[in-house]
Amino acid sequence: MKDRIIPEFLRKYWINYLWGAIFLFLGVYIATLSPKYLGTIIDLLKAPIIDKGQVFNYIGLIILTALGVFATRYVWRYFIMGNARNMECFLRMEMLRHLQKMSVNFYNARKTGDLMAFAVNDIGAVRMSFGPGVALILNGLGTSLLSVFSMVRIVHPKLTVFAMLPIPIIIFVMIRMGTTIRNRFRLVQKNFASISDRINENISGIRVTKTYVQEDDEVSRFDILNNQMKQSNLDLIRVSSLMGPLIQLFFGICFMINLIYGSSLVKAHEITLGDFVAFNGYLTMIMWPVISIGRIINVFQRGMASYRRLEEIFSVKPEILDGAASNPEEEQEKLEGSLEIRNLSFAYPGHSEYALKDINIKLEKGQILGIIGRTGSGKTTLVNLLLKLYNVEPGKILIDGRDINDYSLKTLRENIGYVPQDNFLFSATIQDNIRYFSDQFSDDEIEDASKISMIYDNIMEFPARFDTRVGERGVNLSGGQKQRISIARAVIKKPAIYILDDALSAVDTQTEEAILNNLKEEMEGHTGIIIAHRISALRHADEIIVLDHGRIEERGSHEELIKKDGLYHELFREQYGIETRESWEDEE
């Protein structure tokens, strides 16, 4: 894990642990008084003449110690356990911030189930180490030390030594078992991640599963993972559950030694009956911290296993470089939108083949660029670089005459309105999806954006209108409706640069034409990039480039490209047919 994460938290909240430790040790000290008072009462009751006043005084002291233990226990649990919850919240927030900085390539290499396991199970295990784990250690140390001290000072040193002989053996066995627990818990976490990922895929792809009648096969595959999860948990339980009985066995030996040797000391009048009872009380107090060693080892080994898993994530450095994030004034900068691409070539990380080769584009503010090409020609790759989802070589992409690497990511992306191919909608209202949970947009602006994207009439047909909840990933909307809501989300920003990546593929041609006319008016004075497979979406672009295998094969206006016998003309013929060409041009 990044060196600063845990120390940073402790720098902020160390005082809570300090107060927790103070009250915990105070409570332990108060608790160790109780066996002493009980032993005194036994001796008073054994006397020829019973002093009832003293007996009741010591009974009162025992009640006060119980109240003192209750009060201090409440306070130290509030500080230590509460602080562990603070740590859990802190780590989860730090993890989300860290994940937000990661590049697309990072998510390509990791499954959702793994990341969910990190955020839920692993952080929870670390919290257990810094909450119950810390409390058990402090309570065990305090109780054991004070109890042994009282046994030696108040009762009998030799009896203490003999009675405590089995305890080092217990501790040695517990430590040896700890390594096995850690390794088996890591396997449990790994299997949990696999199950989480499988469930996520099944829920996300439920329509495909049902369409291809794969329900039984999916259940069978999940059953294998489920059994693996069960087996790994059983393997862990076999070791961890052995600790309790082993400790109780050795403590039985401790009490047996105390019973045999201690009773002989009472008989020899070396200790009183009250001292013998008090000694048993102290021995019982020590038993629980030693028994908790098993739990401490269990908790800390799980926590360490999870800590190492989290360390793998936090140690990954962001690949995308932020040009000017340290400049607070630039965060508010509004770009004009002129765009220039100079001799841009790009290969994805880990690939030797170029996805883009020698790309040159120049767009002045207010111009619209159309991009077309077959699947895999590099259209979306170009957009990814404009959004700086991957690092760009210096001097290759300039916005407003300035290198894209000189802008902070926030400035760059806030000035771009992007509608991707995969239209993601949040499980929220339509209104929230359009304004993306931002309060800066008024209801009128939301309505205007929905009218431009031609979704307004559909929204008005819903009973709750703009307050209609769209379901997870917009599951209760059609593909065309999701696309138009995504367009409205981009339009409401009024960005300097609009990028529509095949954003009209799910709407009919009539709706497409209406949206394009609205967007043409909306984008006046703004730079626009429209990527499409359908030529009809690009007719009004100032320039159209045709990509093929990462290169610009053709460029020009719609009319110029139609006249060429090239790839654009071929795409046109495939979409509309030779015989419809003249009638199609007449419609223009």
Predicted local confidence at residue 581, as pLDDT: 45
Predicted local confidence at residue 156, as pLDDT: 78
Predicted local confidence at residue 382, as pLDDT: 92
Predicted local confidence at residue 326, as pLDDT: 44
Predicted local confidence at residue 372, as pLDDT: 92
Contact 447, 483 (CB under 8 A): no
Amino acid at residue number 362? K
Q: Which residues of 61-80 are buried (b: 16+ CB within 10 A; e: fewer)?
A: bbeebeebbeebbebbbebb
Domain 421-494, CATH class in plain words: alpha beta
Predicted local confidence at residue 588, as pLDDT: 46
DSSP string covering 472-537: GGGTTS-HHHHHHHHHHHHHTT--SEEEEESTTTTS-HHHHHHHHHHHHHHTTTSEEEEE-SSGGG
Q: Please, what is the angle between helix 273-314 and helix 215-257, to 10°? A: 150
Same fold, 334-415+499-542 and 421-494: yes
Predicted local confidence at residue 77, as pLDDT: 92
Mean pLDDT (10-residue bins), the chain, 588 residues: 66 89 92 85 78 85 91 93 90 87 81 78 87 87 84 79 80 76 80 80 75 80 89 86 77 82 83 82 80 74 80 83 56 81 90 90 91 88 90 91 89 89 84 86 90 91 89 76 90 91 84 88 89 85 91 90 86 70 45
Predicted local confidence at residue 150, as pLDDT: 82
Residue 477 makes CB contacts below 8 A (sequence gap 6+) with 425, 470, 471, 485
Residue ranges of domains in the chain: 5-314, 334-415+499-542, 421-494, 559-588
Contact 342, 395 (CB under 8 A): yes
Identify the architecture of domain 334-415+499-542 in CATH: 3-Layer(aba) Sandwich (3.40)
Q: Record the tokens describing residue 248, joined without a space.
A: 């109780």
3-class state of residue 417 by DSSP: strand
Instruction: For residue 288, count CB atoms less than 10 angstroms from its CB and return exposed for 0-12, middle for 13-18, buried for 19 or more.
Output: middle
Q: Record the tokens describing residue 282, joined without a space.
A: 């102290």
CA distance 138 to 141: 5
- For the domain covering 5-314, report its CATH number: 1.20.1560.10
Predicted local confidence at residue 547, as pLDDT: 92
CA distance 535 to 529: 14
Task: Calculate Rg over the CA atoms of the chain.
Answer: 36
DSSP bridge pairs for 346: 356
